[in-house]
Structure 1
Amino acid sequence: MATPEKREMELEPKYDDYDYPITAPEPRDGHPGYLTEQQQAQVHQLRLMLEAQGFKERLDTLTLLRFLRARKFDVNLSFQMFVDCEKWRKDTKLDEELPNWEYPEKKALFQYYPQYYHKTDKDGRPVYIEQLGSIDLTAMYKITTAERMLTNLAVEYERVSDPRLPACSRKAGHLLETCCTIMDLKGVGLTKAPQVYGYVRQASAMSQNYYPERLGRLYVINAPWGFSTVWSMIKGWLDPVTVQKIHILGSGYQKELLAQVPPENLPKEFGGTCACAEGCENSDAGPWHDEQWAREPKWAKKGDASTTIQGAPSEVQEGKAAAEGAAAAPAPAEDVAGAKATA
């Protein structure tokens, strides 16, 4: 396949108000800075179709491109995906909740389901970590509700879009649109698997349907016995582009993980050297808190909330759901060192 030609992306002043780099770091078909004339025309077509239906928000070029890439540049399918997303936002009142959202039960929930952002990988992307071994939904629902958990999940997706990724893009000097996710399955065995994967699958549906094209890399670590075998079968059904993003690793994951995440950015419990004073899971350290790179998120300007963005759920996207398909298979609790089906 020929390398896509680099060309300046056509912007729409009415919607494209970017204060960070907007060219992809490498030539990739359909990505900003490497669009064909036809793809640029499809962006215009999709925007016109949405405007005709009365939509006025989120019509910037980068957002429309993500929806187009998610549907292989089929404009009609991208249109329907966008419309469904906007309906969901309206039904959940997400845009009203976002500026003033508070989630004081987060720390109490962390004892059952740690989910947090922590620094960046070697490509400059936010690193997002989930540890599923302690999930106890019965106990968690005594602390909060399923509705609040899902609302917080959506809020964190929004905070990835702004301010996390823009800050990372400024620091990197090029556009970054994805995250690097670490999903730790240590402790997930036969009895816990249905509860764990049932909830995670529900959360992943949100990422696939409403936040497309956010997966950069996904490392599933401490994968239990049987996971890799099932994965080797189902990956044949997936888009090769998605498969390349997913790495299934057993308990001997450190070498491969450290090839992507600098040791100083990876918590000690995963083989890195970072030990934040308040605990890595509580620090939310990253460029989005550095005055040199951080900016007030645009959604904050629509409300009176502070711009504090302590990390919680987000990212995993289309690849996470794919990995969960393998995870749904029964598997004993013990890990198999080095079990691996790396894409």
Structure 2
Amino acid sequence: MEAPSPIPLPKPTPPQQNPPSSPKPYKKSLFSSLIEAATLRSPSFKEDSYFISNLKSSERKSLQDLKSKLPTSLDPSSSSIWGISLLSTDDDRTDVVLLKFLRARDFRVSDALSMLLKCLAWRKDFGADTVLDEDLGFKELEGVVAYMHAHDREGHPVCYNAYGVFKDKEMYERIFGDEEKLKRFLRWRVQVLERGVNVLQFKPGGVNSIIQVTDLKDMPKRELRVASNQILSLFQDNYPEMVARKVFINVPWYFSMLYSMFSPFLTQRTKSKFVIAKEGNVAETLYKFIRPEDVPVQYGGLSRPDDMQAGPPKPASEFTVKGGEKVNLEIDGIEGGATITWDIVVGGWDLDYSAEFVPAAEGSYTIAIEKTRRIAPNEEPVHNSYTSKEAGKMVLSIDNTASRRRKVAAYRYFVRKQST
């Protein structure tokens, strides 16, 4: 067995790609084809910058045509959306909003205008402008079913969705038991989305869309069919081009059936934004778009709900652990009396972890801070601290020698020196 390889701190090591495996002949299932198609489509999608100079001449003409029709088409009492006037002639935000509706209808002016007018009518009837101020009585779903949490690497707000809790029949009946309950849930779901839209910049080159992460684990597909279809239809009709990327995680074997059910409600442009991550590949997929310190702990990241209230999180360093490899993370230069606090996580864990303090003085004994233990796949990040009595270094060991699978990982640490 090779000796453990130390990793110098504090430089982060960017995530690496999986090494190519030997191809094996197989017959593609519909499930495999969908995953491959979504994976191939996602890199080709490029988010629009909304700079007028980047538009084709035909697209600029469509924008001007739409703006010229608005004064005679809009009700003066409903001539703004998300706090942005649709009749302004010198506000870049107006152009961004109008371009969203135009792109949703392939720059067909009459179709985009019709979509915009229907959206304004829906917002007025639904009361979308005041929904953020309402208490809809879904405290038990906050931070569980649908919630905004941190940002991706490009600054997009991230909305997480997880409907696995509704496999509980009692919970399902309590939330979706009748039409009135379903309407209230849809209103709450709009409220969550409006929170994300509320922090968008609506300016050329700015952050103009969100990232959606949908956890399909334990999702009761049949029971949620009506609610899911209504959510998809409502969002696609009234929030055009508001999602930069849709990441599906913990994708089950029956994804093909879900896809067939949702596909009629999705545009080709929406499908091009899909990213698929099967169970066991969640952290590696999310790290491509979201930094580990911003990924929730339940998905292999370092972010806990309470962390968001304490300001921007301390950046984490990323590294990978190859199959059959043991990695030591060495934190040098710890002074006597200093307290070191560390967080460490490995996507999908299922490996051995330990921590020890190695004194700098010759003849001193190594101190086992955390004895070697096997960490389960779904366990949360390690969070621990140690106050040293003498100068030395901390060594965090990640032993993946029993597995052939490469894993992504992240860590961070804080050192507080002894006060004088």
State the TM-score, normalized to the length of structure 1: 0.62
Summarize deviations over 1:3-25 as a string: whole Å, max 9, x none.
xxxxxxxxxxxxxxxxxxxxxxx
Letter in 1 for 2:188: N
What CA distance in whole angstroms lies between the structure 2 residues aligned with 1:237 and 1:104? 27
Q: Is the 8 A contact 2:148 2:160 kept in 1?
A: yes
Aligned twin of 1:252: 280
CA offset digits 1:61-95 (Å, max 9, x no partner): 11111000000000011011111111212222333
Q: Does 1:150 align with 2:186?
A: yes
Query: In 2, distance between residues paired with 1:218 and 1:249?
Result: 11
Tell me if the contact between 2:210 and 2:243 (Cα under 8 Å) persists in the aligned partners: yes
CA distance in 2, matches of 1:142, 1:233: 22
Secondary structure of the structure 2 residue equivalent to 1:124: coil
Q: How does 1:51-62 map to 2 (within 5 A)?
A: 51-55=71-75, 56-58=79-81, 59=86, 60-62=94-96
Bigger drift between 34-43 and 238-247 goes to 238-247
Match of residue 65 from structure 2? 45
CA distance in 1, matches of 2:263, 2:98: 28
Match of 1:177 in 2: 208
In 1, Cα distance between equivalents of 2:264 and 2:119: 29
Q: Deviations over 1:114-172 (max 9, x none)?
A: 2111111111111111111112431125798333322233333333232x112xx89xx
Q: Is the 8 A contact 1:70 1:213 kept in 2?
A: yes
**1:117–1:284 CA contact under 8 A, matched in 2:** no
Change in Cα spacing, 1:209 to 1:228, as seen in structure 2 (3 Å) is same
Q: Deviations 1:281-337 (Å, cap 9, x if unpaired)?
A: xx69789xxxxxxxxxxxxxxxxxxxxxxxxxxxxxxxxxxxxxxxxxxxxxxxxxx
Equivalent-residue separation in structure 2 for 1:285 and 1:94 (angstroms): 29
Relative to total residues, which structure has the larger strand share, 1 or 2? 2
* Identity across the alignment (%): 26
The 5-angstrom pairing of residues 12-161 of structure 1 reads: 28=48, 32-55=52-75, 56-58=79-81, 59=86, 60-95=94-129, 97-98=130-131, 101-103=133-135, 105-110=137-142, 114-135=145-166, 136-141=171-176, 145-161=181-197
**In the comparison of the two structures, how many residue pairs are matched?**
249
Could you tell me whether the CA contact under 8 Å between 1:119 and 1:284 is conserved in 2?
no
Displacement of 1:221: 1.0
**1:198/1:235 CA distance change after superposition, 3 Å:** closer
Structure 1 244/120 Cα, relative in aligned 2: closer, same or farther at 3 Å? same
| Residue ranges of structure 1 left out of the alignment (5+ in a row) | 1-25, 288-337, 339-343
The one of the two structures with greater contact order (alpha-carbon pairs below 8 A, sep at least 6) is 1
Which structure carries more helix by proportion? 1
Shift of 1:265: 0.2
Rg larger in structure: 2
| Residue 90 to residue 264, structure 1, CA distance change in 2 (3 Å) | same
RMSD: 3.6
For residues 157 and 237 of structure 1, the distance between their equivalents in structure 2, rounded to whole angstroms, comes to 18
Query: Per the alignment, do residues 234 and 40 of structure 1 end up closer, same or farther by CA in structure 2, a change over 3 Å counting?
Result: same
- Hey, what does 2:298 align to over in structure 1? 269
1:126–1:286: 8 Å Cα contact kept in structure 2?
A: no
Opposite residue 105 of structure 1, the aligned amino acid is: G
- Alignment partner, residue 23 of structure 1: none
8 Å contact kept, 2:233–2:265: no
Question: Is 1:216–1:245's contact at 8 Å kept on the other side of the alignment?
Answer: yes
Once residues 94 and 213 of structure 1 are traced to their aligned partners in structure 2, the CA distance between those partners, rounded to angstroms, is 18
The 1:104–1:227 alpha-carbon spacing in structure 2 relative to 1, beyond 3 Å, is: closer
If the length of structure 2 is used for normalisation, what is the TM-score? 0.52
Residues 178 and 216 in structure 1, CA contact (< 8 A), matched pair in contact too: yes
What stretches of structure 2 of length at least 5 have no aligned partner? 1-45, 87-93, 314-404, 406-420
Q: Is the 8 A contact 2:51 2:205 kept in 1?
A: no
